[in-house]
Amino acid sequence: MDSTKRKYESFEVADLVLNDDFKQLVSEKGNINLSRFIENPEGHEQNIRLASKIILGLQQKRQSQSLDLKYRLWRQVQNNHRRQKNFAILRYAAVLILCFSLGGGVLYRANQTPRIVELAKSNPVEYGQFELILPDGKTIFLTGSNPTVKSTNQGKTILINDSVRINQSSEGFNQLVVPYGHRGTVLLADGTQIRLNSGSRLVYPSQFSENKREVYLEGEGLFKVKRSNDKPFYVQTGKFEVQVLGTTFNVQAYGNENLFNTLLVEGKVNLKLNKGLFPASVELLPNQMASLTENHDEIRLESIGNIQNYTSWASGYLEFNNENIELLLKKIAMYYNIQVDLRGDVRQLKINGKLDLTDNPESIIAGVAAMGKMNYKKEGDNFILYQ
């Protein structure tokens, strides 16, 4: 590690603004990428940028008439640190005052909805068939159960299943829509691989910007991100964003199922909620999963023993070891977009096995029934398992 890099115990905005060493760093370096001067900044770049903007704003000459008052406020908050139990509330209140004193511009930029999220939310899709929607609005229907869409030539060319070539004449966002009961793979121009599960959509630019790589996910995706220290990778969803430099992780963002989580396979990622002035965030380590609570305002962190239970779908099968049958049937119902009911006193049953996702729904249900020593029947479009 470079011995000149600064080390900070906390990357919360308020802590950085209150830190004398960080204020000195901002004064010395100005409005540049400060992350390269800081130890382990991965996942905290946005907070670093916001804190530096607040400090620079306070230092501008146009704010000089009220600088003394603002810094006295900060000093008072710091002095209260030793004797106030609610120090956290005071310091965040102080940050709020300072932000509004800068005209609200800092807050606006920090909480501005990314353009890719606005586009995705304003253009909902159906999950009836494979579709590749190009920036100019042209729709290409794909065939096969697991097609591959590959960007080449710096994103100017798309290859479908290594056979169909499409030249992109306009910049903008592509959208790949994966129908229920199928999977798809996207290979981005930077070398990143994304496997998409049933009922998913990926929105991604034809070409990434100079300073970041950003995509939008609806549904589920297993990401293997090509490392780039100068260009972090962001996965935006309807409720949170995931930021990485290069790693492997699984993201679920099924709004219709109220299912939002991120599981880290290897490397390190930072997950941050989309809402709030100082949104909750958490840094994940391998074999950890971060899930949103029911109200989407808190993050729950847990360790996962068998990652294959969560990622095997990307290889075309469901592997389950000591899995609760009710949770397994929920995965199956989501994948095939079917209704499965469980009857009898079997909801706590644990089963082991592997299912081939290329099979039809009834074969899958029959396999689960056999593993659990149960019976099944079909009533209309619904499947019922019972003892």
CA 18, CA 32: separation in Å to the nearest integer?
A: 20
pLDDT at 367: 94
H/E element holding 220? strand 213-224
CA 51, CA 296: separation in Å to the nearest integer?
A: 25
H/E element holding 202? strand 200-205
Instruction: Count the helix, strand and coil residues of the chain and give each as a percent rounded to the nearest 5.
Output: 30, 30, 35
Assigned token pair, 215:
């995509």
In this predicted structure, the answer to whether residue 272 has a pLDDT above a threshold of 60 is yes
pLDDT at 53: 74
- All structural domains of the chain with their residue ranges: 13-111, 115-303, 316-386
- pLDDT tens track for 112-161: 567 788 877 777 777 888 999 998 888 999 988 889 999 988 878 898 98
Question: Which residue, among 158, 160, 214, 226, has the nearest Cα to 190 in the 3D structure?
Answer: 226
In this predicted structure, the answer to whether residue 197 has a pLDDT above a threshold of 80 is yes
pLDDT at 246: 80
Give me the long-range contacts of 19-23 (CB less than 8 A, separation at least 24).
Answer: 22/51, 22/55, 23/55
Longest Cα separation, the chain: 79
Architecture of domain 316-386: 3-Layer(bab) Sandwich (3.55)
Q: Which residue has the tokens 């019976």?
A: 375
Which letter does DSSP use for residue 6 in this model?
Answer: B
The band of 62, judged by pLDDT with boundaries at 50, 70 and 90, is very low
- pLDDT tens track for 276-332: 555 678 889 999 999 988 777 788 999 998 899 999 999 999 999 888 999 999 999
Q: Does domain 115-303 have CATH number 2.60.40.1120?
A: no
Q: Which residue has the tokens 């010395």?
A: 28
pLDDT at 107: 47
In this predicted structure, the answer to whether residue 231 has a pLDDT above a threshold of 60 is yes
In this predicted structure, the answer to whether residue 60 has a pLDDT above a threshold of 60 is no
CA 385, CA 367: separation in Å to the nearest integer?
A: 11
In this predicted structure, the answer to whether residue 102 has a pLDDT above a threshold of 60 is no
CA 242, CA 249: separation in Å to the nearest integer?
A: 10
In this predicted structure, the answer to whether residue 163 has a pLDDT above a threshold of 60 is yes
Assigned token pair, 69:
């008052």
Q: How many CB atoms sit inside 10 A of residue 209's CB?
A: 9
pTM comes to 0.72
Average pLDDT over residues 161-189: 88
Backbone φ/ψ region at 30: left (φ over 0), alpha (ψ -120 to 50), beta: left
In this predicted structure, the answer to whether residue 73 has a pLDDT above a threshold of 80 is no
- SS3 state of residue 218: strand
CB 93, CB 145: distance < 8 Å = no
Question: Which residue, among 367, 308, 373, has the nearest Cα to 346 in the 3D structure?
Answer: 373
